[in-house]
Copies of this chain bind each other. A is one copy, B any other.
Amino acid sequence: MADIEQVKKLREETGVSVSECKMALDEARGELEKAKEILRKKGVELAGKRSGRAAAQGMVESYIHPNKRVGVLLELRCESDFVARSAEFQKLAHDICLQIAAMKPIFIGEDMIPDEFIDGERKIYREQFAGSGKPEKIVEQIIEGKLSKYKQEVSLLSQPWIKDPQKTIKLLLDEAMAAIGENIIVKAFARYEI
């Protein structure tokens, strides 16, 4: 049986229900880290199931840097008005605003980057390697690697979370979906800087 102190600790760290924490700890034979891993995988799976559901509620949150020269606006969606008003959801919205302010994403997901954008970036990289003397195939590999890194950097969901770089924002959202039990979507954001 799972130790009650461990269940409490796991619940505090993950936000998942007590019964799910118990089951995960049983499955992990009392190993906290393993239980977290189990919950994370489960969370991701649950989130996967939830992500098809309509998210017609939510909130609009903003963050203005104290110098008033950087500002962010975020539309975060969920399924119910009840969740939209919860402290948990509002904290998540605030955290995502801080991420956008600090890490300057341009798109929500990598699948939302227009082709022209990628092509333009590829062209810049090609020019950098023009006359480098390296074989064409190697250059193309390096360029694709750079492009892949670039796509991660400009996409909010692919970025490492500034408060815990082990997690991407996608994983942060998946965990929130698992803990809250609703589909959560970053619908839109804007970031202005003077």
Contacts and interface: CB of A to CB of B under 8 A. Distances in A.
Interface of A: 56-65, 68-75, 77, 84, 187-188, 190, 192-194
6 contacts: A59-B194, A60-B65, A60-B192, A62-B63, A62-B64, A68-B84
B75 A194 contact: yes
Nearest to A64: B62
A58 B84 CA distance: 33
A84 B62 CA distance: 20
Contacts of A74: 192
A62 B188 CA distance: 15
A39 B50 CA distance: 61
B64 A69 contact: no
Contact of A72 (B61, B69, B73): B73
B73 A192 contact: yes
Nearest to A60: B71
Contacts of A188: 190, 192
B60 A68 contact: yes
Contacts of A64: 60-62
Contacts of A194: 56-60, 75, 77, 84
Contacts of A71: 60-62, 73, 75
A44 to B, nearest CB: 26
